[in-house]
């Protein structure tokens, strides 16, 4: 069922962000494949991209 208000993708993700520990857990699962791999270079790049996704910055491409 779709609500009559269009919540907007950004607002939906913020709903999870503002939703305490459980909400952060959801975000981690959403972006987990990227965040969990911070120990390898490949995954570090993906983690930066994830951070960019969350913070609204362009992913870095110079490393």
Partner 1 sequence: MSTPPDPGSFRDPLSRVYVDRDAVWRGLSERGLADYQAYAATDAYRAAQADGRLVATTPVPVAEAPIDATWAGALRHERVGVVTYPYEWAFSMLRDAARLQLALSREALAEGVLTKDASSYNVQFEGSRPVFIDVGSFERLVPGEPWAGYRQFCELFLNPLYLQALAGVPFQPLLRGSQNGISPTIAAAALGSRKRLRRDVLTHVRLHSRAEAHYADADAERDVRGELKRAGFGPKIIDAQMANLQRAVERVEWKAAASTWSTYGQRGHYTDADLDAKAGFVARATAALQGPMVLDLGANDGRFSRVAVDAGASLAVAVDGDHLVVDHLYRQLRTDGERRILPLVLDLADPSPSLGWRSRERPSFVERVRPDLVLCLAVIHHLALSNTVPFEEIVELLHDFGAPVVVEMPHRDDPMAARLLARKRDGLFDHYDRPQWEAALGRRFTVLEQIGLPSGTRTLYLCQPS
Q: Is 63 in the site for partner 1 (CB under 8 A)?
A: no
Contact status, residue 47 vs residue 59, Cβ threshold 8 Å: no
Phi, psi for residue 44 in degrees, rounded to 5: -60, -40
Kindly state the number of chain residues that form the binding site for partner 1, as judged by CB under 8 A.
Answer: 31
Cα three-residue angle 1-23-58, rounded to 5 degrees: 95
Cβ closest to partner 1, residue 12 vs residue 38: 12
Q: Is 30 in the site for partner 1 (CB under 8 A)?
A: yes
Residues of this chain that interact with partner 1 (CB under 8 A) are 1, 3-23, 25-27, 29-30, 53-56
């Amino acid at each position: 069922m779709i609500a009559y208000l269009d919540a907007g993708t950004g607002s939906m993700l913020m709903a999870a962000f503002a939703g305490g520990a459980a909400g952060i857990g959801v975000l981690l699962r959403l972006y987990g494949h990227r965040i969990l791999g911070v120990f390898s270079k490949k995954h570090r790049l993906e983690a930066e991209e994830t951070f960019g996704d969350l913070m609204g910055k362009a992913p870095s491409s110079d490393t």
